[in-house]
Structure 1
């Protein structure tokens, strides 16, 4: 039983976690004391051409932006790029803050995920006037991608628990057209079969008004599956498999976004979802939908707030991220669902100097539903919301708190010269960066419904370990991690992350 393991291994894990914590603190103190007060570290140092152009500027007072010249945007409309600059023609920029503003501009443009490379330089165009040159290298925007996905929660579960069974896969085609009209919009079409069937149609346009503040997203989805997790036992998913489809759902969502400031976005969403299950699932777990139901139909309304000052959204090393998402499911009395959920996340990333970086990432999930229902219950262990070292477990509950603390060091970086193999500018010279890291995670799940059969619920969970991250272009990163948890379990885990 897991409970016995918890009691028998506390001493060992306390020593291990104390050692990891001390290591993190010692490295933090070392890095801090070796960073001078005048340092202004960046993830990527200001490129040499920009540094040279800044040094060559012969201005005695705050310069005025006389012109902004953009090149390399063969498809992307110029206003989409200008929207990411925190200045416009006619603005006066402080001399002591000029490099910071230009670096922020570069980061903002790269975070649109429209460009492979971005470079800036500045030239004097008058007595106290400057011209800012922005050169972009556009990404490849059309992705007819064959789908080959695992039906399980993550790679590690598929590899260990299901003996890397290739029948537990989903195959098909995903067509993504980024920057469809040159305005940063995206069209996604998904058609997949196999262990699951899914058909998606999504269109997102970041700006629909001239001031580039309002955006629109429309989604339509249909999915059905022949295997379904209907409950959890010993903090592992209980699944039922059939030759027939056990669950079907239809969903439609419309989202209106409002970006009133450079780094802040508000989203308002309305949606409708219809879900049905076979009677077999209802018999296995009468509380799957609550009150012995076999279907749910409901409207929902949600609000999302996002503050993002991170240098790179895909792999941040500096900056702040905050997100709050509230959703009310079941808007009318005749609907058979009445729930409210609030999710929050706050992360802060620090550049300590000497190629050392520290981050903490805190997240919570709160469900105010008074119904005992398994479906749509928040929990730890799903997607990227988990304590490292507990990848094989799930903990469902009504309140979840998660903290991740990480110290990393950039080992080296280089570019691969692949022009002999792939002579396509969009994919040439992929950069590779490697980071060595140590981490400690902590989580807690407050549960009033499922704890009797899941001993990790209502217990403080901690995991720690070391790892290596590999980061490359097109927002792709691969994490290789070796973790240990409070159960005295340890193992090697692989995590892949990409924005698609």
Structure 2
């Protein structure tokens, strides 16, 4: 009896579903022409996406960055947002100096989307000139503008080598560091455009080395013979499942040699108090991009997280984790707030100098403490900046160029404040910036242009009662 009732229920359910489907079809057929037109106007269909100006870059590299695909339905209210998002994501490939994404034609509710592109120059056989110090002010003041602290040479850079956003770099560097580098990077090697790899070789020597710190500053030893010799081979596997998330898995072999004179100045420079340190290290890095322009974000969120493991023996062992997050919030059309947070933790706790670099290096610098460094095993920085675009203009290229006829330049006035802290288990007595809250603040002017050019003029103050003018620049190719 139960079985019969169950079968009867199934028959009734299926029959009613068929009747409802038939009724729904009849209802659709009975809709007036005006009602059907109104329904079509709610959604647009991407009929075609036409790319213009990408002479070298492959179409699939660009189409991967689009926020929609051919044949996709887009709600009317979302169209402008998705067009702008596509423009931002294509710009963030760093392959183009200008991108314009727009509706070129419309037939009913079918859209033809145009993507107008101006490619960068991809080949740069350029001279190389770079200060080896952490920033311009340290070189200008502390090092008295010494040309002995300059690297120079030539770089052969072929970006977008095969049109797949792959890059080949060959560097011949002389001066402070004698260096030879070869590196090849290809972000996509599979049909789904999610996997890639990077391989590199570096061989370098130098006659001067930072062997310690005192008075919150680096100590250097210069000699006629080689103070440090370094060789590294590395391989990175990358995985990029979508336009915002990126994963990198890196393994490298490193061989470092010190001179005996360096070891006499600081016996604890390397683990094991040795002049030669060979090790394998592993690094996992995660990056999330959801910003309008990576080199100078005015809207969105960006996150970088690293987990680093060095050495396979107890003596050489080091674990390090670090996080860097950026949040930019627009306040008006021409102003925005910029927050940046950085955190670093190293284990195990020890006094090996090779493990101690913390604040004042690379991106981990506080504005107003450019002359100082803070060693340690754990620390962090919080930066807050208010930006206001005061003016901008388009510089016309006096030389004929289809891709670089216009050079936009923008100027931003800013006010900022930084907080920082660096923890050391056994700091040098004269390093008074360890284990204390660090505070800096100031005003500045930023100039932003193509090729991710960024020039900063900053007047900063710090808790030590010192103030001064600082210059920073960044130019990436």
| TM-score, shorter chain, exceeding 0.5 | yes
State the alpha-carbon separation in 1 of the partners of residues 201 and 272 from structure 2.
28
**Would you say 1:288 and 2:265 are equivalent positions?**
no
Structure 1 counterpart of 2:351: 372
Alignment partner of 1:361 out of 313, 333, 340: 340
Cα distance change on mapping 1:460 and 1:382 into 2, 3 Å: same
CA shift, 1:165, in A, is 1.7
* C-alpha distance in 1 between matches for 2:328 and 2:40: 34
- Map 1:38-117 onto structure 2 (within 5 A): 60-117=41-98
Q: 1:376 to 1:223 in 2, by over 3 A?
A: farther
466 and 147 in structure 1: CA distance in 2 versus 1, 3 angstrom threshold: same
What is the aligned partner in structure 2 of residue 305 from structure 1?
286
Listed as ranges, the matches of 1:135-150 within 5 Å are 135-150=116-131
Residue equivalent to 1:338: 317
In the other structure, the counterpart of 1:459 is 436
Structure 1 residues 167 and 272, CA gap change in structure 2 (3 angstroms): same
Q: Which structure has the highest strand share of the two? A: 2
* CA distance in structure 2 between the aligned counterparts of 1:283 and 1:147, rounded to whole angstroms: 34
- Measure the CA separation in 1 of the matches of 2:124 and 2:403: 12
1:78 CA drift (Å): 0.4
Contact 2:349 / 2:377 at 8 angstroms: preserved in 1?
A: no
Aligned residues: 439
Conserved in 2, the CA contact under 8 Å of 1:302 and 1:325?
yes
Asked whether the 8 Å contact 2:297–2:328 carries over to 1, the reply is yes
- Given that 2:45 and 2:72 are in contact with CA atoms closer than 8 Å, whether structure 1 keeps it comes out as yes
CA drift of 1:316 comes to 0.7
Partner of 2:462: 485
CA contact (8 A) 2:214 2:428 kept: no
**Distance in structure 2 (CA, Å) of the matches to 1:245 and 1:152:** 19
CA–CA distance in structure 2, aligned partners of residues 434 and 201 of structure 1:
36
2:378 aligned partner: 399
- Where do 5+ consecutive residues of structure 1 fail to align? 1-57
2:396 to 380, 393, 417: 417
- Tell me whether 1:267 sits opposite 2:244 in the alignment: no
TM-superposed deviation, 1:294: 1.1
Cα distance change of structure 1 residues 280 and 426 upon mapping to structure 2, 3 Å threshold: farther
Q: What SS does the aligned partner of 1:454 have?
A: coil
| 1:279 pairs with 2:256 | no
Cα distance in 2 for partners of 1:92, 1:354 equals 30
CA distance in 2, matches of 1:274, 1:487: 40
Displacement of 1:202 in angstroms is 0.8
Counterparts in 2 of 1:89 and 1:427: CA distance versus 1, 3 Å: closer
Q: Distance in 2 between matches of 1:305 and 1:354?
A: 31
Structure 1 stretches of 4+ with a deviation exceeding 6 A read none
Q: CA deviation at 1:423?
A: 2.5
The alignment's C-alpha RMSD in Å is 1.4
CA distance change for structure 1 residues 354 and 429 in 2, over 3 Å: closer, same or farther? closer
Paired residues of 1:314 and 1:499 also in contact (CA < 8 A): no
Structure with greater contact order relative to length (CA < 8 Å, sep ≥ 6): 1
Corresponding position of 1:243 = 224
Q: Describe the SS at the equivalent of 1:375.
A: helix
For residues 308-328 of structure 1, the C-alpha deviation after alignment (integer angstroms, 9 at most, x for no partner) is 101101111011001111110
1:66 touches 1:125 (CA, 8 Å); kept in 2? no
Per-residue deviation, residues 454-493 of structure 1 (Å, max 9, x unmatched): 1111111010000000000011110100000001100000
Aligned residue number for residue 470 of structure 1: 447
Farther-moved stretch of structure 1 (287-296 vs 270-279): 287-296
Deviates more, 1:71-80 or 1:361-370: 361-370
Q: Indicate conservation of the 8 Å contact 1:314/1:498, yes or no.
A: no
Q: Distance in 1 between matches of 2:82 and 2:102?
A: 12
Larger radius of gyration between Structure 1 and Structure 2: 2
Q: Is the 8 A contact 2:51 2:116 kept in 1?
A: yes
Alpha-carbon distance in structure 1 between the residues aligned to 2:426 and 2:207? 27
**Shift in Å, 1:201:** 0.8
Cα deviation for residue 384 of structure 1 reads 2.5
State the shift of 1:124 in Å: 4.1
Unpaired segments of 5 or more residues in structure 2?
A: 1-38
Does residue 381 of structure 1 match 2:360?
Answer: yes
